[in-house]
A = this chain, B = another copy of it.
């Protein structure tokens, strides 16, 4: 019996997402350092929902309405915001049971960019196995969208995209003819034995080090701390708990 095979694709930059146009696909957004890791951490710590906003002015408007706002640009917390982009900011004490507003340089904008697709979810190393199972359970084409850095390719996002793609392609319903997917998997295979050593050379690693914000690198590359899948629905991210291994 021939399977109706679904496609796995990896998009290296929001600037080329147009090339992957496929309204029937599900999209997984990854921004390892740090937006999608922070979003997963927030849900692990009981946040009720997250409103990702694109612009600084939108974030400010929400603040004026009384929302708790996490907002940064280029790794710097915006002055009106309650806190920035470190996953450690999204502690249980701060976020449990709340709706928060979140705006970052790259990640939250990528989530919004993907919104016309069939479904949008947030991936990180923290939910690596769960997000891979979630994709397979959707039984649809998938585009893994790397948020990157200001539309440039990012090594840590690519390595995670490769890890997810490799997991999904182990399922017989999925295949790929996408060079960026093959490259991402090759880079993941190269990085996997010592992920932190590999990521040491990444540009974002250096940016965070320069700003003294690199305490999160280890945490952001820790696999499978949660089964929660943040999914984007009607403008907000809400948690879905994935039953790992049911595919």
Contacts and interface: CB of A to CB of B under 8 A. Distances in A.
Given A16-B16, A186-B187, A180 B153 contact: yes
Interface string A147-175: 00111111100100000000000000000
A155 B179 CA distance: 6
Given A15-B19, A16-B15, A186-B190, A179 B150 contact: no
A99 to B, nearest CB: 34
Contacts of A18: 15, 151
Interface stretch (A90-98, A110-118, A201-209): A201-209
Contact of A13 (B16, B182, B187, B203): B16
Given A15-B15, A190-B190, A153 B183 contact: yes
A23 B155 CA distance: 26
Given A177-B203, A177-B206, A206-B177, A19 B182 contact: no
Q: How large is the interface on A (under 10, 10 to 19, 20 to 34, 35 or more residues)?
A: 20 to 34
A12 interface: yes
Nearest to A159: B183
A203 B154 CA distance: 22
Contact of A19 (B19, B152, B155, B201): B152
A203 B187 contact: no
Q: How many copies does the complex hold?
A: 2
A165 B13 CA distance: 21
Interface in A8-61: 12-13, 15-16, 18-19
A178 interface: yes
Contacts of A183: 153, 155, 158, 183, 187
Contacts of A201: 182
A154 B177 contact: no
Contact of A178 (B19, B158, B203): B203
A154 to B, nearest CB: 6
Nearest to A152: B19
A16 B186 contact: no
Interface of A: 12-13, 15-16, 18-19, 149-155, 158, 177-180, 182-183, 186-187, 190, 201-204, 206
Closest 9 CB pairs of A and B: A153-B180, A155-B179, A15-B16, A179-B203, A19-B151, A19-B152, A153-B179, A177-B203, A154-B179
